[in-house]
Amino acid sequence: MEPLATPSLLFATFAAGLAALTVLWVVSLVMRDASIVDIWWGLGFVWIAGVAMTLGEGGDDPRRILATVCVAVWGLRLGAYLAWRNLGDGEDPRYQAMRRYWGDRFPIVSLFTVFWLQGGLMWFVSLPVQMVAVSPGGALGALDFLGVALVAVGLFFETVGDYQLARFRADPSNEGEVMDQGLWRYTRHPNYFGDACVWWGIYTIAASTALGPWTLLSPILMTFLLLRVSGVALLERSIQKRRPKYADYIDRTSAFFPLPPRSR
């Protein structure tokens, strides 16, 4: 197969992303569970990065491998964790509410507003790794190593934060309590902070190439989603209704960037 130049590659990765999510949508209809799309969030980035690396033209091999491995480690870990946490628990209440609201129209509405929307977001956020796949370059340099360091920091916060929270939830004595230990003492969302670090790291790797700097909006979009859309804002509205002590936790703990706890 001949390698693809930039416009053709972008079309191919976009089509591949939507095709995968269309198949997943069909599976969700059979299962009557749209929640499976959440598990694909990390895996979908791995799929797009893999397609880009396979079809990309003229990319610098060490950097292409580096960026793709970073995406793969992040996405596979996240997908495995969400599968372990969510499978078997039934459909997420968010999608149940959509199903009740839309009734018989839910299947087609979910295709556009849940599955294909996530596909478009994945494609846009993953533009840095796609640009690495088509941008020739020299040996690895300072930006590449800085990018790897940011990815490592992000993976640390995600992995350790998820592990600490899972242990906290597994203890029946913590029912109704607020997790404020470990990394959660310094940020209310170490996993979301880690996500942002990973994608700023991948952008930094891409910035070593000719086209990479033009993808700055990709990590900005991911950070905005984590802070204002599907991450911090959405989750905290739900938590405050279920845990009265969470208001005190908000008062003394940084929402996103890790900082020492504020005095009460």
Q: Is the pLDDT of residue 50 over 80?
A: yes
pLDDT (average), residues 228-246: 74
Indicate the pLDDT class of residue 60, thresholds 50, 70 and 90. low
Distance in angstroms (rounded) separating the CA atoms of residues 184 and 249: 10
Per-residue CA distances from 114 to 37, 89, 212 (Å): 8, 19, 28
Task: Output the pTM of the full model.
Answer: 0.92
Distance in angstroms (rounded) separating the CA atoms of residues 131 and 115: 24
Distance in angstroms (rounded) separating the CA atoms of residues 236 and 240: 6
Identify the top-confidence range among 37-41, 134-138, 259-263. 37-41
249: number of CA atoms within 13 Å, CB side?
Answer: 20
pLDDT (average), residues 78-103: 91
DSSP string computed for the chain: -PPB-HHHHHHHHHHHHHHHHHHHHHHHHHHT-TTHHHHHHHHHHHHHHHHHHHHBSS--HHHHHHHHHHHHHHHHHHHHHHHHHHTTS-S-HHHHHHHHHHGGGHHHHHIIIIIIHHHHHHHHHTHHHHHHHH----S--HHHHHHHHHHHHHHHHHHHHHHHHHHHHH-GGGTT----SGGGGT-S-HHHHHHHHHHHHHHHHHTTSSSGGGGTHHHHHHHHIIIIISSHHHHHHHHHHH-TTHHHHHHHS-SSS--PPPP-
Structure confidence by residue, pLDDT tens digits, 174-183: 887 888 899 9
Query: Packing angle between helix 127-134 and helix 61-86, nearest 10 degrees?
Result: 150
In this structure, what token pair is assigned to residue 223? 């950070």
Q: Is the pLDDT of residue 134 over 70?
A: yes
